[in-house]
Amino acid sequence: QVQLVESGGGVVQPGRSLRLSCAASGFTFSSYGMHWVRQAPGKGLEWVAVMWSDGSNAYYADSVKGRFTISRDNDKNTLFLQMNSLRVEDTALYSCARAEDFGGNTLDYWGQGTRVTVSS
Amino acid sequence: DIQMTQSPSSLSASVRDRVTITCRASQSISDYLNWYQLKPGKAPKLLISAASSLHSGVPSRFSGSGSGTEFTLTIVNLQPEDFATYYCQQSFLIPPTFGGGTKVE
């Protein structure tokens, strides 16, 4: 069965960096686009970034563009989110999600998320 | 960006009730509309894609309809495990955008 397990969250000061990982299993990772989505405390879902299955394209939400970088290692079935210059407003539960196909925007399986808290 | 507006933001219902949630897009998105179910501490679940296609394993009491800018999620015969928050999402354009959510309590 499809499994997505995030890790790497924690408490970090504003301006610092954090790298999230998403370990995938139960499917051919290299065939699917992968997304990051976040949910701030008490708020709704906010899409963060997507990387296509072969790593050829990546897109970002305006709120994170220039600060966050999505990447993937198809040999290790792992998705990453490098978060730099973190802000208080980046505090959220970050979840990775699989796209229905190589680069689509329908998210058919999600992980439970890893929590990021940005605070001084 | 395409704005997605859900209503209501919350609703009170009972087991065996019929529940309807509406989602409106700020521009036409054809049928590029998905519905998700969120429960605290659990991974979100895709319920419906392409406005009306039931995702694998989702009970048939869930259904979706609509196209263009107006969409509906309907739950008939509400079950105890259906008390959750539901989100619509457009997959027509990047960035994918979500509605504000509807809490069914």
Q: What is the mean pLDDT of each run of 10 residues along chain A (120 residues)?
A: 98 98 98 97 97 95 98 98 98 97 91 97
Given this model, what pLDDT does residue A84 score?
98
Given this model, what pLDDT does residue B80 score?
97
Whole-angstrom distance, CA of residue A12 vs CA of residue B35:
33
Percent residues over pLDDT 90 in chain B: 100
Given this model, what pLDDT does residue A103 score?
76
Q: Categorize the per-residue pLDDT at B12 as very low, low, confident or very high, splitting at 50, 70 and 90.
A: very high
Nearest CA in chain B to A63: B95
Average pLDDT, chain B: 97
Given this model, what pLDDT does residue B44 score?
96
Given this model, what pLDDT does residue B84 score?
98
- Identify all chain B residues contacting A105, using CB atoms and an 8 Å cutoff: 32, 89, 91-92, 94, 96
Given this model, what pLDDT does residue A102 score?
78
DSSP A44-64: -EEEEEEE-TTSS-EEE-TTT
Subunit contact A97:B42, Cβ cutoff 8 A:
no
Q: Quick: pLDDT tens for B57-74.
A: 999 999 999 999 999 999
Subunit contact A112:B41, Cβ cutoff 8 A:
yes
Whole-angstrom distance, CA of residue A38 vs CA of residue A41:
10
